[in-house]
Structure 1
Amino acid sequence: MPESMPETVLTTVPAGWAVLAGIVLCALAFFAAALDSALSARAEGAGRGGWLAPAWSTVRLLRQRRRTVVTADTLLLRVGAAGMLVGSFLMVAVIPLGRWTLADLDVGVVWFNTVDVMVWALVWLAGWGANSVHGLVGGYRFLAHGLAYELPLMFALVAPAIAAGSLRVGDAAGAQDRLWFVVWMPAAFVIFLIGVTGFSVWGPFAAAVGADVAGGVLAELSGVDRLVLQAGRYAFLAAGAAFSVPLFLGGGAGPFLPEWAWVVVKTVVVLAVLVWLRRKLPVFRPDRFLEFGWVVLLPAAVAQDLVVSLVVVWKG
């Protein structure tokens, strides 16, 4: 780490605070689901309705009886579904809320990337375990999308780490005291958000749960199984939006409000943009996006890392 960039001091809170972190994550996930429902209702001409739709859907799914097809691997199916929700909690563990964090890991950026790679296995298990053609097709679609977004996402995560001289998430936030990384790392920021929508199986990357394959990996899920996988998608979207704050948006930096409040405000803004964009972008065909990812996104991410490296070397 360069001498001119001192290590950021974070306070690691007791494990009991994980309950509060889980509540905040669930609140952000519910906000994303409610906003998505409200925008859908508005697009269908239903006025202001839709904000409470996630609550009614939760109640309905909790009362719904679980069902599976013949010879389904129930264990794999439920591990894949529930793992989405668990993975989002693991991701939040390394995100500082102002000066507080659950886990101040020296390799926090790598931890984030490791958890997002887990989604590959989780979505695949949900599709494979259902013993359904539609679920299997959905799983294959997600893997094809993953091949296109994952490597550019890895290189996009490298850019803030190079600039901060550290893989600690707190150091990346502390290195932006004068200029947020999003200003001079726009390509990395955009590619990062593309990766977030990718591992959240969201928006342009929703082909894995497409209506043309009867819901894909969701086709045979019902009751609690369907609820936790859907909640996991929104929770991952919220966790990815939250991670962009210390990585690109200055962490808790901002006037008047306390640091933790700025983290929440910035997260809500990024999350709202991601939800809004779902209706503005078409669903990407996996085969075409695979070419775009390797031909456009990957070189752009590498070029961004090169620019950041040159700036760091120039500054000494």
Structure 2
Amino acid sequence: MLAGILLCGLAFFAVALDAALSARAQGTGGGWGAPLGRAARLLRQRRRSTVAADTLLWRIGGAGMLVGAFLMIAVIPLGEWTLADLDVGVVWFNTVDVMVWALVWLAGWGANSAHGLVGGYRFLAHGLAYELPLMFALVAPAIAAGSLAVGDVAAAQDGVWFVVWMPVAFLVFLIGVTGFSVWGPFAPALAADIGGGVLAELSGVDRLVLQAGRYLFLTAGAAFSVPLFLGGGAGPVLPGWAWVLVKTVAVLAVLVWLRRKLPLLRPDRFMEIGWMVLLPAAVLQDLVVSLVVVWKG
């Protein structure tokens, strides 16, 4: 329950910050309280449906986003405490993020709508480009720590944080986080040119659940970067759990801020970038880490 409350609190911070930045960009005041108003309107809104919609798959696509985000944070250490200290925590994270492929596509397919289906396929195209580089980015800290347990990876950064000598893996990891969160440059699946894509036919609580799932996944990904690259709970004065929260808030704020600074990436363009730039860079980063480990070993 505590983990869920913390995840929801951090996600609400991301929503409020995003709303405040949007209000500032439009030259209006406030914005921090806007998420509560939007949520209240969606809860009051009547659910719409389309002709011959596959309601079960449609609902699974949206609700699965919430479940996936909670599964993802299960292996993240909060100081000395971990909900599920799995020996394969890094693989667990990667498994859950691959689930998003099916969830977003089901949200588009289940509506029996051309716009939703196009949005789902756009997301799959992005996924083909970011997923393999993300896998190799996750391998780098695991190689350095000699373990797939997230706690061991955090503990291995006793002297120098991995982000210092694995900057490429860290950058590719954050790109993957924005990708499976359908966020920023990876939001053409929700673009206006296809009427909102996978969100086109969603209304009321269904729309609220899917949107909340996106923010929860963004938050979970930002939190996972802390034990993986930013030393976990290491830091002066404050207890370990506090440092995990502080670092998570910092990464999350940067990801939210960057949404307006980067243009949307067409899936075909990003597939070229992913396969020709990000994947070789991540593999080269793994090679460098392996050589360092062997040299030390």
TM-score (norm 2): 1.00
Which whole-Å CA distance do the structure 1 matches of 2:241 and 2:38 have between them? 31
Which whole-Å CA distance do the structure 1 matches of 2:293 and 2:277 have between them? 25
The 5-angstrom pairing of residues 1-316 of structure 1 reads 19-47=1-29, 49-316=30-297
Structure 2: give runs of 5+ residues left out of the alignment. Answer: none
Report Cα offsets for 1:243-274 as digits up to 9, x if no partner.
00000000000000000000000000000000
Residue 155 of structure 1 and its aligned partner are, at CA, apart by: 0.1
Residue 201 of structure 1 and its aligned partner are, at CA, apart by: 0.2
In structure 1, give the amino acid aligned to 2:44.
R
Which whole-Å CA distance do the structure 1 matches of 2:201 and 2:121 have between them? 16
In structure 1, give the amino acid aligned to 2:281.
A
Which whole-Å CA distance do the structure 1 matches of 2:4 and 2:102 have between them? 23
Residue 162 of structure 1 and its aligned partner are, at CA, apart by: 0.1
Question: Alignment partner of 2:86: what SS?
Answer: coil
Residue 290 of structure 1 and its aligned partner are, at CA, apart by: 0.3
In structure 2, give the amino acid aligned to 1:206.
A
Which whole-Å CA distance do the structure 1 matches of 2:236 and 2:267 have between them? 43
Which whole-Å CA distance do the structure 1 matches of 2:267 and 2:21 have between them? 26
Residue 200 of structure 1 and its aligned partner are, at CA, apart by: 0.1
Residue 42 of structure 1 and its aligned partner are, at CA, apart by: 0.1
In structure 2, give the amino acid aligned to 1:119.
V
Which whole-Å CA distance do the structure 1 matches of 2:274 and 2:82 have between them? 33
Question: Alignment partner of 1:23: what SS?
Answer: helix
In structure 2, give the amino acid aligned to 1:72.
A
Which whole-Å CA distance do the structure 2 matches of 1:53 and 1:83 have between them? 25
TM-score (norm 1): 0.94
In structure 2, give the amino acid aligned to 1:294.
W
Question: Alignment partner of 1:177: what SS?
Answer: coil
Structure 1: give runs of 5+ residues left out of the alignment. Answer: 1-18
Report Cα offsets for 1:278-303 as digits up to 9, x if no partner.
00000000000001000000000000
In structure 1, give the amino acid aligned to 2:213.
G
Which whole-Å CA distance do the structure 1 matches of 2:190 and 2:80 have between them? 38
Report Cα offsets for 1:205-261 as digits up to 9, x if no partner.
000011111110000001111001000000000000000000000000000000000
Question: Alignment partner of 2:253: what SS?
Answer: helix
Report Cα offsets for 1:24-66 as digits up to 9, x if no partner.
000111110100000000000003x110111111111111111
Residue 176 of structure 1 and its aligned partner are, at CA, apart by: 0.3
Which whole-Å CA distance do the structure 2 matches of 1:65 and 1:263 have between them? 40
Residue 164 of structure 1 and its aligned partner are, at CA, apart by: 0.2
Which whole-Å CA distance do the structure 2 matches of 1:63 and 1:200 have between them? 26
In structure 1, give the amino acid aligned to 2:21.
L
Structure 1: 4+ residue segments shifted above 4 A: none
In structure 1, give the amino acid aligned to 2:195.
A
Report Cα offsets for 1:92-126 as digits up to 9, x if no partner.
00000001000000000000000000000000000
In structure 2, give the amino acid aligned to 1:21.
A
Which whole-Å CA distance do the structure 2 matches of 1:155 and 1:255 have between them? 31
The count of corresponding residues between Structure 1 and Structure 2 is 297
In structure 1, give the amino acid aligned to 2:287.
L
Report Cα offsets for 1:135-165 as digits up to 9, x if no partner.
0000000000000000000000000000000
